[in-house]
Amino acid sequence: MLQVKALQKSFDGFLAVNDTTLNVEKGDVVAVIGPNGAGKTTLFHLITGQLAPTSGSILFKEENIAGMLPYLVCRKGISRSYQVVNIFNRLTVFENVQVAVLSYRKKTFNIFQPAKTMAVSETRKILGSVGLLDKSEMTSGSLSHGDQKVLEIAIALGNRPELLILDEPTAGMSPEETAVTLRLMERLSGELGLTILFCEHDMGMVFSIASRIMVMKQGKSIIQGSPDEVRNNQQVREAYLGGADQCST
């Protein structure tokens, strides 16, 4: 579904992403792991068009989307959430998701219908599935951090993506919230059949949900394989995981 080949991104000569390769098949749950500054967020920015790559290709369903504008990438079927909460602060929780649904339905130039009555059931369905329905009339800026991170995912679902990209979906969450989010991702993958690409620091979470794992270090992809392959890879142990015990959950 998604093939990233020899991707490079340089910031004034500094290669944040350097010769990265990534493969995501339909139905996969792919985790990208690596230390802070490895280039995971930059890689996601490149895929979703927020940044243009210096070189390399990004094939999504056989089409090269490298350098395509973000709103066009989204229309191709890729939605994303952000590591740092990036929502519509003054809008209600409901409206946050509704903006995405209205965009998906190509209603953004409709100026005469009342928005209040549009895309209501779908928006509520998404909010229900992530557990935010009872907060739907709250202003999103006043939600707790954990709820805002969940809203991040809910907004991304509004576009009915084929590929869902989550940048550290549980960053800053409490252990309970993390567990809930993990179950949400399992449901999205299992019930809706969504293909998910995410990066995460919580190794327990990564190894419990990911069907494939890609390891990044200093902008390079070291290895991509099944959780077992990655767990047992000597290079990964030495370079990143730093010991067998840490990832034997």
Partner 1 sequence: MILYNALFSKKTIIIGIVLLVAFLLLPYFLTRFYIYLLALIFAICLLATSLNMVLGFGGMYQFHHAVFYGFGAYAFALFVTKSGLPIWIGYVIAPFCSALLGLVLGLITVRLTQLYFGMLQLSLGSLVWAITYRWYSFTGGDDGIHGIPIPDLIGSSTGAYYFNLIVTAACLLLMYIIVNSPFGRTFQGIRDNPERCEAVGINVQRQQLVGQIIAAFFAGIAGTLFVTIEGSVFPDLMFWTFSMETLIMCLLGGWFFFMGPALGAVIIITVRTFVGIYTEYWTLILGLVLMLLIFFLPEGVLSLFFKKDVPSEKKEG
Ligand X SMILES: Nc1ncnc2c1ncn2[C@@H]1O[C@H](COP(=O)(O)OP(=O)(O)O)[C@@H](O)[C@H]1O
Residue 23's Cβ-count burial label (10 Å; 0-12, 13-18, 19+) is middle
Number of residues that bind Mg ion (CB under 5 A): 2
Tell me the C-alpha distance between 166 and 44, whole Å. Answer: 9
Residues engaged in binding partner 1 (CB under 8 A): 48, 50, 69-71, 74-75, 79-80, 82, 86-91, 95, 98-100, 102-104, 107-118, 138-139, 141-142, 145, 155-156, 158-159, 172
Question: Should residue 20 be labelled a site residue for Mg ion when binding is judged by CB under 5 A?
Answer: no
Tell me the C-alpha distance between 243 and 184, whole Å. Answer: 30
The listed partner (Mg ion, ligand X, partner 1, none) that binds 42, CB under 5 to 8 Å by sort, is ligand X
Handedness of CA 195, 96, 39, 12 (dihedral sign): positive
CB 165 within 8 A of CB 78: yes
Question: Should residue 42 be labelled a site residue for Mg ion when binding is judged by CB under 5 A?
Answer: no
Contact region with Mg ion (CB under 5 A), list: 22-30, 56-64, 76-84, 110-118: 76-84
Question: Should residue 80 be labelled a site residue for ligand X when binding is judged by CB under 6 A?
Answer: no
The SS3 call for residue 213 is strand
The side-by-side arrangement of strands in the sheet containing 2-11 is 14-24, 2-11, 55-60, 63-64
Residues 2-31 that bind ligand X (CB under 6 A): 11, 16
Q: Which is nearer to ligand X, 38 or 154 (CB)?
A: 38
The first and second tokens of residue 190, run together, are 């299992």
Question: Should residue 38 be labelled a site residue for ligand X when binding is judged by CB under 6 A?
Answer: yes
CB 195 within 8 A of CB 174: no
Q: Which of 24, 28, 40, 153 binds ligand X (CB under 6 A)?
A: 40
> Measured in Å, how far apart are the chain's first and last C-alpha atoms?
29
Q: From the CB of 117, what's the least distance to ligand X, in Å?
A: 40
Site of interaction with Mg ion (CB under 5 A): 41, 83
Where along the sequence are the contacts to ligand X (CB under 6 A)? 11, 16, 34, 36-42
